[in-house]
Structure 1
């Protein structure tokens, strides 16, 4: 099938005008198919059937090829056979109906309670210290997304009731509790906030030193810097949200409540934290059970 691959390669370079890197990836993927065809005496493109592709996917998995790489490979093969059918080299497309293996969900990175405590132990009463501590506390206390934290407005806060309101994904509003530590940090910050305002009508809860709403990028950079100095690791805002969810689920076991607090539409999204919880239990088991680590 060298002729067909060469013509497809020309099509990618001239008509699709793909970058060299992307073009070379497609060609490498097709070489895998070609090599498999030679090994199975499938020398013509029309010899390749659905069963052969399924067997090859299984072989690639056995060889340790990552799921994402297999997904990309199958995407290349599908495009190739669509091209082949358009050229009338094949009458049927053997890739139709073949689904790529689903990628394993990566468990979110979390911090344990001691790490969070160390992270939030920020001294100082200056503008940046008060603001950064309040942002960290409120993110962990209420499990906010980065966009929700940046978009928080004064009218979203009810300090007397210790609650806040956010508009999350899908433009859905949810009301969340504010923990006592976060409430105290927020009150300290609001006192500092007044000193830096340029426009008294500014509604953003968290502002930059320029007196305007702090940007998402600025928050990311501040969290990264604080994470490095406080706990010696890269910190992104979602890590605190993940820690919030994991710690709540670990303590309460109430998956539905955690789903509501996180603003997840489907409980399957929240269920990933049950895996984190199991990892914690498995670790305790390994450390505590007298026969857990017995060597065979």
Structure 2
């Protein structure tokens, strides 16, 4: 298992976060196998893995989480086959149970505008607003924002060069408000960061800001500035995608901006858009309100008969 994780990190160039995820999933399987009296990888069968999937399901894992476990196991056995440490891949035909797809949370346009227009109270809040403006302006992932270097943003051209999943680079437009926020942040950053620090966003100590700090600062910003719901980085990305799709209707363009390899991943936002349309329909169309009107009329008729 250790050799496999090293293989992912060195040969496949997976991120430390991805490697940690694979290791946790495989360790969980290894512990379960030992408990079942089957400590050898080469002796694991498809039947064993079906029992393991059932065990994960009983433990409350979603279909998506179980699918991630199975993906890690399949990749691990591909490696074992390459190293001649196994004779087959028992996970090939195992599928995770389907679960309902949870739609991402999206913030209201007016509320986001109000939150991002709030006046920063100190230098670190200037940085915070800049981070959140850029995340919403360009649909950045948390990891993409944290890894952004100062030379990756072209303020004159209004674009940012972002390294996404799998080390893929994409060029994204940066909106006017985000550019203004960057211009306000750069003088403060210069006073905090040493000259050799490449990161665009730095902590109070002058080093690259961590993922956890960004999450905590966004949550704090929402509380201090009066948000109606808890804010988190992925909500800003989801809001970017949903608002872009509502305005443009161009699913392919939104896919490119988000850096999704598969358009099916982007299509979840069409469901969000439909939900919005359905709510408007239910509230506005006279035939959609028929039941409420009928119940009201029946109630009145009953009262008139009593009178």
Q: So what's the TM-score if we normalise by structure 1?
A: 0.68
1:103 has 2:99 as partner: yes
- The alpha carbon displacement at 1:15 in A equals 2.6
SS of the residue 2:199 aligns to: coil
Q: List runs of 5+ in structure 1 lacking aligned partners.
A: 1-10, 18-25, 31-64, 76-95
Q: What is the CA distance between 1:243 and its match in structure 2?
A: 0.2
The correspondence for 1:251, drawn from 232, 243, 247, is 247
Cα distance change, pair 16–274 in 1 and its aligned pair in 2 (3 A): same
| Structure 1 residue 229 displacement after superposition | 2.5
- 1 CA distance for matches of 2:172 and 2:96? 39
CA contact (8 A) 1:168 1:174 kept: yes
1:234 positional shift:
1.5
Alignment of 1:1-296 (within 5 A): 13=35, 15=37, 68=63, 99=95, 101-124=97-120, 126-197=122-193, 199-230=194-225, 231-295=227-291
SS in 2 for 1:176: strand
CA contact (8 A) 2:120 2:129 kept: no
Structure 2: state its 5+ residue gaps. 1-32, 40-50, 71-91, 295-307
Structure 1 moving runs of 4+ over 4 Å = 11-14, 65-69, 96-100
Aligned residues: 220
SS at match of 1:200: coil
Q: TM-score if structure 2 supplies the norm length?
A: 0.65
Work out whether residues 170 and 259 of structure 2, in 8 Å CA contact, stay in contact via their aligned partners in 1: yes
Q: Is contact 1:108-1:239 (8 Å) kept?
A: yes
**Any conservation in 2 of the 1:127–1:193 contact (CA below 8 Å)?**
no
Q: Deviations over 1:144-179 (max 9, x none)?
A: 000000000011010000100100011110000110
Question: Would the alpha carbon gap of residues 66 and 221 (structure 1) be closer, same or farther in structure 2, given more than 3 Å must change?
Answer: closer
